């Protein structure tokens, strides 16, 4: 087939997740072409098949160069012009099946417990290191001229303001967000994912594990 006048616009993200061993171009990429026949045909173009290990399916990761995709497309449509709107290198994560919801719930509860007790311990050690009770007592005495006997308005406001400040900072109350802006955790996770993907692709390229043209 030769379609010298046609142009294919191709967009593939940096991080792609699939649940089937046989990966097609339509599984990971978005395409646009004036000829709908070319577009539909390339959606079913097989790019890679993840191997089995001792008859079992396990999570796998593979890096690719866009050049190998272009080479595969040109084998089918030699004269097709390809315009890349996505990444030059990308990753495909193969996840054959999701973990049971019960196990996901258990892991979520464990993480929440670790975060709760860890944060509580950190706050207590901070208050102890900087002597927050003594500071409040001295401040209360200087303002009111009386010795503090038991919890004062300062401790009450501190106890209320601390969790409120955390909620406002992290922009989350359960599943609901206070504003439409991304939360600090979301921003940190996106940066972490980008760093991991970049490192993985660079290591794969150096070790010759990335699927690329000769």
Note the pTM of the prediction, 2 decimals: 0.69
Report which DSSP code applies to 4: T
What residue spans in the chain does CATH classification 2.60.480.10 cover? Answer: 7-94
| pLDDT tens, residue by residue, 50-83 | 988 776 778 889 999 999 999 999 999 988 999 9
Greatest alpha-carbon pair distance for the chain in Å reads: 93
| pLDDT tens, residue by residue, 5-29 | 789 999 999 999 998 889 999 999 9
CB distance 199 to 193 below 8 Å: no
| pLDDT tens, residue by residue, 99-125 | 678 888 899 899 989 988 998 899 889
d(CA 44, CA 61): 21
d(CA 18, CA 46): 13
CB distance 192 to 55 below 8 Å: no
By percentage, how much of the chain surpasses pLDDT 70? 96
Task: Provide the mean pLDDT of the chain.
Answer: 86
CATH of span 7-94: 2.60.480.10
């Amino acid at each position: 087939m030769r379609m010298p006048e046609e142009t294919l616009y191709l967009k593939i993200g940096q991080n792609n997740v699939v649940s089937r061993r046989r990966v097609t171009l339509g599984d990971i990429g978005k395409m646009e072409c004036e000829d709908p026949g070319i577009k539909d045909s390339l959606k079913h173009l097989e790019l890679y098949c993840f191997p089995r290990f001792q008859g079992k399916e396990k999570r796998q990761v593979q890096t690719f160069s866009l050049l190998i995709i272009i080479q595969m497309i040109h084998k089918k449509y030699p004269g097709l012009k390809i315009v890349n709107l996505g990444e030059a290198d990308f990753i495909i994560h193969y996840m054959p099946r999701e973990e049971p919801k019960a196990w996901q719930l258990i892991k979520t509860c464990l993480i929440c417990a670790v975060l709760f007790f860890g944060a509580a311990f950190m706050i207590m050690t901070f208050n102890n290191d900087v002597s927050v009770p003594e500071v409040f007592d001295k401040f209360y005495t200087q303002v009111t001229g009386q010795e503090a006997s038991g919890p004062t308005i300062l401790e009450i406001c501190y106890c209320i303001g601390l969790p409120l400040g955390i909620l406002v900072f992290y922009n989350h109350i359960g599943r609901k967000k206070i504003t439409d802006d991304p939360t600090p955790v979301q921003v940190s996770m996106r940066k972490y994912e980008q760093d991991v993907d970049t490192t993985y692709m660079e290591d794969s390229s150096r070790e010759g594990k990335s699927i690329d043209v000769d």
